[in-house]
């Protein structure tokens, strides 16, 4: 009975809040919102919006960020996978890059900023010798007008995501024979893989690529930390309009939210057109007969890019941690004068509440998401209906509709149903974003499970329920826990929904960290970003350790088997 409702409930969770939010956003965008004095429909909000200085530039930055970062990250992943799959190097880099997925965007962005800014650690390392800088060079590196720093920050986080999605798609594409045949025909390793195998990988990761485009074109937290400031990308300006004390700006903000939806849609359309163009060019090159067999330099290039990206993020995180323990640390010193616990001691009393909220909301959203995902998957197993591509597209909706376009409307909606600033509303809005990731990371291992185990158990007299609880769930404990860790990490990373729906009543480590970005005190930021990074790490560590301990004496339950 409950199981029967799981798919409907999951769909309601996935798209209900989005539809509500969009609905309540669109009305004021066209001037209608009586509470704010808008009693009739008009195009005034749009006129105001288009009269905003620098709007075009903001839109172009958003558009470019969405496309450029995704293209670069995808190209590097494709090149690297093509050049190195099934090598020891590949496994090593895969292990290096995977943990990056769990690092929240804000923490990674802070780390990169601390590393690369003109007064950052890299310049300090080379100053005053050999650079000759006694004071930080006047370089416009972070917050640069073109958004290059922001794009680099997003690139560093999208790379591991696309890498893992590609890895998950690899077995289905069965890359080994195809690429071996191609290399046998004299094609270079990279070209052979791209020609023979990539075309069957890409369709599987396409929705994930769309999600990356949508995220990058509407990001707020990374943009606040690394992005251009005059003007800022559209989503950042949107949030500031939504918070403007002048109420009439709300109408413009709503119109802006609809525009953001349009920008993201435009990004996706351009991408889809680009796919067509690319496949034509790609087919030309493929049928040209050229073998591209001297690809050593290209292969090394891709691996260096992967290592450098992962290395930069790790170095950034290390610098964050170092700042959190530092006393006065003037430029150009590469290391602080003294290490102290002062900052931690001062911050810890204030961290308790946001930390509790973060963990509570994260765990609650993860448990609900897990229950829904397991319910859907079990229902699918029992009925044999998978829901197919349409269901998959539904799962991706929360990842593709930009948050900035509907969360404000959602805030108004929650307010009107009396759920404003409640923990329930916060958990629900986190669930919207946690569920897709939990479902996506759980569905493959769940479906790959050998159902003959279930048949064996059934013929031994076990009911469906006892098969689920005693056989399938325990056998899939590791993927279940990994999916939970993924969900927990996603919840921790949520900035905009927490800020708006929580209405400040439920600060989390992430909202506190981003709020502190304006404080400029790197030691305090270090503390918060360090905790923000640590939480998902603990989740993943638990997901690895618990099954390992539980099944210490069960060889076939170990990872990789």
Residues 48-77 that bind another protein (CB under 8 A): 53-54, 57
SS3 assignment for 475-524: HCHHHHHHHHHHHHHHHHHCCHHHHHHHCCCCCCHHHHHHHHHCCCCHHH
Segment near another protein (CB under 8 A); pick from 65-73, 87-95, 130-138, 431-439 = 130-138
Segment near another protein (CB under 8 A); pick from 161-169, 211-219, 259-267, 452-460 = 452-460
Six-digit token string for 425: 């509303």
Q: Which residues pair with 339 in a beta bridge?
A: 326
Q: Of 253, 212, 58, whose CA–CA distance to 147 is shortest?
A: 58
CA distance 480 to 441: 9
Segment near another protein (CB under 8 A); pick from 27-35, 204-212, 255-263, 434-442 = 27-35
CA 221 to mean position of chain CA atoms: 12
* Binder among 515, 534, 542, 544 for another protein (CB under 8 A): 515
* Binder among 42, 172, 279, 342 for another protein (CB under 8 A): 342
CA distances (Å), origin 68, targets 63, 154, 213, 267: 9, 10, 9, 10
CB-CB contact of 523 with 326 (8 Å): yes
Furthest-apart CA atoms within the chain: distance in Å: 79
Interface with another protein, residue 138, by CB under 8 A: yes
Interface with another protein, residue 462, by CB under 8 A: yes
* Binder among 281, 460, 538, 541 for another protein (CB under 8 A): 460
* Main-chain phi, psi angles of 349, to 5 degrees: -60, -35
With 0-12 CB in 10 A as exposed, 13-18 as middle and 19+ as buried, what is 186?
exposed
Nearer to another protein, 181 or 546 (CB): 546
* Binder among 125, 181, 247, 304 for another protein (CB under 8 A): 247
Rounded to a whole number of angstroms, the minimum distance from the CB of residue 342 to another protein is: 8
Nearer to another protein, 42 or 519 (CB): 519
Nearer to another protein, 181 or 448 (CB): 448
Tokens 């802006």 sit on residue: 256
Q: Which residues pair with 530 in a beta bridge?
A: none
Interface with another protein, residue 341, by CB under 8 A: no
Interface with another protein, residue 560, by CB under 8 A: no
Segment near another protein (CB under 8 A); pick from 14-22, 290-298, 441-449, 537-545 = 14-22
CA distances (Å), origin 237, targets 219, 255, 260, 517: 11, 12, 11, 17
Segment near another protein (CB under 8 A); pick from 105-113, 129-137, 170-178, 364-372 = 129-137
Interface with another protein, residue 331, by CB under 8 A: yes
Rule CB under 8 A: which of 271-300 touch another protein?
none
Nearer to another protein, 290 or 505 (CB): 505
CA distance 428 to 413: 13
Give the number of residues in contact with another protein, rule: CB under 8 A. 98
Q: Of 204, 205, 179, 195, whose CA–CA distance to 86 is shortest?
A: 179
Interface with another protein, residue 553, by CB under 8 A: yes
221: CB partners within 8 A, 6+ apart: 105, 106, 109, 495, 496, 510, 514
Interface with another protein, residue 19, by CB under 8 A: yes
With 0-12 CB in 10 A as exposed, 13-18 as middle and 19+ as buried, what is 171?
exposed
Rounded to a whole number of angstroms, the minimum distance from the CB of residue 36 to another protein is: 6
* Binder among 350, 387, 392, 397 for another protein (CB under 8 A): 350
Nearer to another protein, 206 or 458 (CB): 458
Rule CB under 8 A: which of 364-383 touch another protein?
none
Interface with another protein, residue 397, by CB under 8 A: no
Rule CB under 8 A: which of 176-205 touch another protein?
none
Interface with another protein, residue 445, by CB under 8 A: no
Rounded to a whole number of angstroms, the minimum distance from the CB of residue 560 to another protein is: 13
Interface with another protein, residue 449, by CB under 8 A: no
Interface with another protein, residue 516, by CB under 8 A: yes
Interface with another protein, residue 534, by CB under 8 A: no
Nearest 10 degrees: Cα torsion 174, 179, 181, 184: -160
Segment near another protein (CB under 8 A); pick from 106-114, 307-315, 410-418, 426-434 = 410-418
Interface with another protein, residue 475, by CB under 8 A: yes
With 0-12 CB in 10 A as exposed, 13-18 as middle and 19+ as buried, what is 290?
exposed
Q: Which residues pair with 174 in a beta bridge?
A: none
CA distance 251 to 253: 5
With 0-12 CB in 10 A as exposed, 13-18 as middle and 19+ as buried, what is 292?
middle
Interface with another protein, residue 40, by CB under 8 A: no
Annotate each residue in 73-112 with x if it binds another protein (CB under 8 A) or - if it does not, as one string.
Answer: ----------------------------------------
Segment near another protein (CB under 8 A); pick from 68-76, 165-173, 255-263, 463-471 = 463-471
Nearer to another protein, 25 or 309 (CB): 25
CA distance 261 to 256: 9
Interface with another protein, residue 131, by CB under 8 A: no
Rounded to a whole number of angstroms, the minimum distance from the CB of residue 442 to another protein is: 18
Tokens 């309601």 sit on residue: 12
Interface with another protein, residue 24, by CB under 8 A: yes
CB-CB contact of 139 with 118 (8 Å): yes
Q: Which residues pair with 326 in a beta bridge?
A: 339
Rule CB under 8 A: which of 143-172 touch another protein?
143-145
């Amino acid at each position: 009975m409950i199981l029967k409702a799981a798919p409907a409930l999951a769909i309601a969770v996935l798209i209900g809040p989005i539809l509500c939010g969009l609905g309540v956003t669109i009305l004021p965008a066209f001037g209608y919102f009586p509470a704010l004095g808008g009693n009739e429909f008009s195009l005034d909000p749009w006129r105001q919006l288009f009269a905003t200085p620098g709007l075009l530039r903001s839109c172009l930055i958003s558009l470019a960020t969405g496309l450029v970062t995704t293209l670069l990250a995808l190209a590097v992943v494709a090149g690297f996978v093509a050049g190195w799959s099934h090598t020891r190097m590949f496994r090593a880099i895969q292990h290096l890059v995977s943990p990056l997925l769990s690092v929240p965007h804000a923490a990674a962005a802070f780390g990169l900023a601390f590393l690369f800014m003109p007064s950052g650690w890299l310049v300090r390392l080379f100053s005053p010798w050999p650079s000759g800088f006694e004071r930080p060079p006047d370089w416009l590196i972070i917050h640069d007008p073109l958004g290059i720093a922001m794009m680099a920050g997003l690139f560093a986080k999208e790379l591991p995501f696309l890498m893992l999605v590609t890895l998950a798609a690899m077995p289905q594409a069965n890359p080994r024979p195809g690429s071996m045949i191609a290399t046998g025909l004299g094609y270079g390793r990279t070209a052979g893989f791209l020609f023979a195998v990539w075309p069957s990988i890409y369709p599987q990761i396409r929705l994930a690529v769309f999600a990356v485009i949508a995220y990058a074109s509407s990001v707020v937290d990374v943009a606040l930390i690394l992005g251009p400031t005059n003007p800022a990308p559209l989503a950042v300006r949107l949030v500031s309009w939504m918070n403007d004390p002048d109420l009439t700006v709300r109408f413009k903000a709503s119109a802006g939210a609809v525009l953001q939806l349009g920008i993201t849609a435009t990004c996706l359309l351009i991408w889809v057109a680009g796919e067509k163009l690319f496949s034509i060019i790609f087919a030309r090159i493929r049928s040209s007969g050229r073998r591209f067999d001297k690809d050593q330099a290209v292969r090394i290039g891709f691996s260096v890019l992967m290592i450098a990206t992962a290395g930069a993020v790790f170095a950034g995180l290390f610098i964050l941690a170092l700042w959190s323990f530092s006393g006065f640390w003037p430029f150009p010193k590469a290391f602080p004068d003294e290490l102290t616990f002062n900052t931690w001691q001062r911050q810890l009393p204030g961290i308790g509440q946001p930390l509790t909220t973060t963990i509570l909301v994260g765990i609650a959203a993860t448990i609900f998401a897990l229950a829904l995902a397991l319910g859907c998957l079990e229902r699918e197993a029992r009925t044999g209906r998978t829901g197919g591509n349409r269901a998959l597209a539904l799962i991706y909706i929360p990842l593709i509709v930009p948050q900035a376009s509907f969360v404000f409307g959602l805030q108004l909606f929650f307010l009107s149903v009396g759920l404003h600033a409640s923990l329930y509303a916060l958990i629900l809005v986190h669930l919207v974003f946690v569920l897709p990731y939990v479902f996506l990371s759980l569905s493959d291992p769940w479906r790959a499970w050998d159902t003959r185990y279930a048949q064996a158990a059934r013929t031994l007299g076990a009911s469906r329920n006892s098969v689920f609880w005693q056989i399938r769930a325990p056998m899939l404990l590791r993927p279940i826990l990994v999916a939970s860790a993924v969900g927990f990490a996603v919840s921790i990373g949520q900035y905009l929904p927490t800020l708006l729906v929580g209405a400040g009543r439920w600060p989390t480590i992430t909202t506190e960290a981003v709020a502190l970005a304006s404080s400029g005190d790197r030691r305090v930021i270090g503390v918060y970003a360090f905790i923000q990074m640590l939480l998902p790490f603990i989740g993943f560590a638990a997901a690895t350790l618990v099954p390992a301990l539980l099944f210490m004496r069960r060889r076939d339950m170990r990872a990789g088997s």
